[in-house]
Chain A
Amino acid sequence: MATTTATITLSSTDLLSDELSLSTTATLTIAGASTGLTGTTGLARKKTGNTSEYTLFAAASYTDDKAHKVYLKNTSTTAAQYFIVEVAGTVVGRLYAGDWALIPWAADTTGTNCDIDITPSAADMTLEYMLFTDE
Chain B
Amino acid sequence: MATTTAAVTLSSDLLSDSISVSASSTLMKAGTTADGLDQMEYGYLDLPTGDEYDLIATTPTASKASKLYLKNHSTDETYYIAVTQNAQAIGKLYGGDWMFIPADFHDAAGDIAITANGGTNKICYALFHEGTVLVTT
Contact = CB atoms under 8 A, between A and B. Distances in A.
User: Do chains A and B interact in one complex?
Assistant: yes
Interface of A: 2-16, 20, 22, 24, 26-29, 31-34, 37-40, 42-43, 65, 67-68, 71, 73, 79-80, 82, 85, 87-96, 98-106, 108, 110, 112, 114, 130, 132
A98 B32 CA distance: 11
Contact of A93 (B21, B77, B103, B126): B103
Given A8-B98, A82-B30, 11 more contacts: A3-B13, A4-B19, A5-B11, A11-B4, A29-B77, A43-B19, A87-B85, A87-B90, A102-B10, A103-B101, A114-B88
Nearest to B15: A42
Interface of B is mostly: strand
Contact of A7 (B8, B12, B31): B8
Given A99-B102, A114-B89, A32 B8 contact: no
Interface of B: 2-15, 19, 21, 23, 25-26, 28, 30-33, 36-38, 40, 63-67, 69, 71, 77-78, 80, 82-83, 85-86, 88-94, 96-104, 106, 110, 126, 128
Contact of A6 (B9, B13, B91, B103): B9
